[in-house]
């Protein structure tokens, strides 16, 4: 699974001008299930993100995790994280998981974060969403479970 993680002061997602998810301080997580991903990748990614120390401590160093600051997560599905831009000018998305599998793993990932004690808000899988955020830092981190053995 792939995720683009942004440390935010606040974030929200709307579908047809209806707010589907909104958080204060925490993480906006754009997530994509890739072909071949399983529940194990969803669990591994959630655990890594929950422990990711990108929030400032009392000395101003990035030494705290979202769990340490009492933050929340806004999880938004984004299949375009699977973009293959190696040929031509139009990205290909054939490495993304099929929609049914992608949705299942998106839900599983969100539930894994909840099981770790994090408040989680969500976008709407497959919808045309408007995402707004106030990036804090800015701090933006890329993770891919395929990058770790």
Q: Which two tokens stand for residue 133?
A: 């955020």
Q: In 3-state terms, what secondary structure has residue 14? A: strand
The enclosing domain of 69 has a CATH number of 3.50.80.10
Total Cβ atoms within 10 A of residue 115: 13
Does the annotation count 79 as an active-site position?
A: yes
Catalytic residue among 79, 108, 109, 145: 79
Instruction: Write down the pLDDT at residue 148.
Output: 58
The alpha carbon of 68 is separated from its chain's Cα centroid by a whole number of angstroms, namely 18
20's enclosing H/E stretch is: strand 18-23
Total Cβ atoms within 10 A of residue 16: 10
The count of domains in the chain is 1
Catalytic residue among 6, 20, 35, 80: 80
> CA 11 to CA 9: how far, in whole Å?
7
Of the pLDDT bands very low, low, confident and very high (cuts 50, 70, 90), residue 149 is very low
Q: What are phi and psi of 133, to 5 degrees?
A: -155, 155
- Per residue in 55-79, pLDDT (tens digit) is 999 999 999 999 999 999 999 999 9
Does the annotation count 93 as an active-site position?
A: no
Total Cβ atoms within 10 A of residue 139: 16
Does the annotation count 6 as an active-site position?
A: no
**Domain of 17?**
2-147
Total Cβ atoms within 10 A of residue 55: 22
Catalytic residue among 6, 78, 108, 145: 78
Q: Which residue has the tokens 């401590």?
A: 57
- Dihedral sign, CA of 116, 26, 66, 76? positive
Total Cβ atoms within 10 A of residue 88: 8
Q: What is the mean pLDDT of the chain?
A: 96
- Per residue in 88-128, pLDDT (tens digit) is 899 999 999 999 999 999 999 999 999 999 999 999 999 99
């Amino acid at each position: 699974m792939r995720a683009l993680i942004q440390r935010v002061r606040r974030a929200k997602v709307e579908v047809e001008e209806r707010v589907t998810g909104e958080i204060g301080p925490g993480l906006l997580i754009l997530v994509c299930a890739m072909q071949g991903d399983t529940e194990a990748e969803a669990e591994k990614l959630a655990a890594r993100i929950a422990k990711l120390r990108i929030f400032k401590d009392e000395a101003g160093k990035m030494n705290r995790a979202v769990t340490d600051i009492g933050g929340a997560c806004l999880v938004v599905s984004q299949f375009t994280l699977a973009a293959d831009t190696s040929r031509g000018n139009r990205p290909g998305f054939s490495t993304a998981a099929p929609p049914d599998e992608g949705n299942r793993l998106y839900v599983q990932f969100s539930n894994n974060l909840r099981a770790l004690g994090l408040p989680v808000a969500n976008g709407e899988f497959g919808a045309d969403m408007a995402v707004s955020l106030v990036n804090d830092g800015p701090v933006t981190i890329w993770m891919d479970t395929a990058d770790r053995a």
